């Protein structure tokens, strides 16, 4: 995204019980465990990863992503990778958490840290595309101040299932 100073990019953000840090190849076991889980991937844009190679390709793409368009992190808790949060394509925001760590407020802590970081970077807004059936994610984003900006039907075809979208935005640094 134009206007973001590369010097403002951070590699590690400590925030209470969580740390946001850049992905490394050693994150593959957690990424695969999460992304091969049907519950975690229920509302993701792709079906669960069928094999380790698919997860490796996904992680390698995350690591190699152009920092001019991507600003993604691994969520760490207690020294262990537990999920992913960030912008795969600025300002598009997304996250996932290993099922063993869901429902503990860790995603909320990570989101507060990410929002503060993106504000420091000067990003004007974050945007999210959420399946309307994903009530926990909608609640998390609404508690963080995201506002619904629209709805669309049939936006994603995932494993033969047509899914809808709720679009949300959070103003960070309004012009």
Report pLDDT for 175.
Answer: 65
Query: Crossing angle of helices 106-121/135-143, nearest 10°?
Result: 50
DSSP state of 16: T
Report pLDDT for 5.
Answer: 77
108 in a domain, yes or no? yes
Residue given tokens 């504000």 in the structure block: 119
7 confidence band (pLDDT: 50, 70, 90): confident
Residue given tokens 């960070």 in the structure block: 172
172 in a domain, yes or no? no
How many folded domains does the chain comprise? 1
147 in a domain, yes or no? no
57 in a domain, yes or no? yes
170 in a domain, yes or no? no
Beta pairing partners, 167: 129, 150
Q: Which two tokens stand for residue 18?
A: 């969580």
174 in a domain, yes or no? no
SS3 content of the chain, % helix, strand, coil (to 5): 35, 35, 30
Report pLDDT for 1.
Answer: 47
58-92, pLDDT tens digit by residue?
Answer: 999 999 999 989 999 999 999 999 999 999 999 99
What domain range is 96 assigned to? 6-123
The CATH number given to whatever domain includes residue 110 is 3.40.630.30
- Respond yes or no on whether the N-terminal peptide bond of residue 91 is cis (omega within 30° of 0): yes
72 in a domain, yes or no? yes
152 in a domain, yes or no? no
- Cβ atoms within 10 Å, residue 46: 12
Beta-carbon-side half-sphere exposure of residue 39 (alpha carbons within 13 Å): 8
To the question of pTM greater than 0.85 for the whole model, the response is yes
- 3 has pLDDT over 60: no
């Amino acid at each position: 995204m134009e206007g973001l100073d590369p010097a403002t990019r951070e590699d590690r953000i400590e925030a209470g019980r969580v740390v946001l840090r850049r992905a490394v190849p050693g994150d593959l076991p957690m990424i695969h465990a999460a992304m091969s889980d049907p519950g975690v991937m229920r509302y993701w844009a792709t079906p669960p990863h069928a094999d380790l190679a698919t997860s490796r390709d996904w992680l390698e793409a995350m690591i190699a992503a152009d920092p001019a368009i991507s600003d993604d992190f691994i969520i760490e808790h207690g020294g262990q990778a537990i999920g992913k949060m960030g912008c795969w394509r600025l300002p598009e925001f997304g996250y996932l958490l290993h099922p063993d760590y869901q429902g503990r407020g860790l995603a909320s802590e990570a989101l507060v840290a990410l929002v503060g970081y993106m504000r420091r970077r000067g990003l004007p807004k974050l945007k999210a595309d959420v399946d309307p059936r994903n009530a926990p994610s909608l609640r998390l984003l609404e508690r963080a101040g995201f506002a619904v900006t629209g709805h669309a039907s049939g936006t994603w075809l995932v494993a033969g299932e047509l899914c809808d979208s709720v679009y949300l935005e959070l103003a960070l640094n309004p012009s």
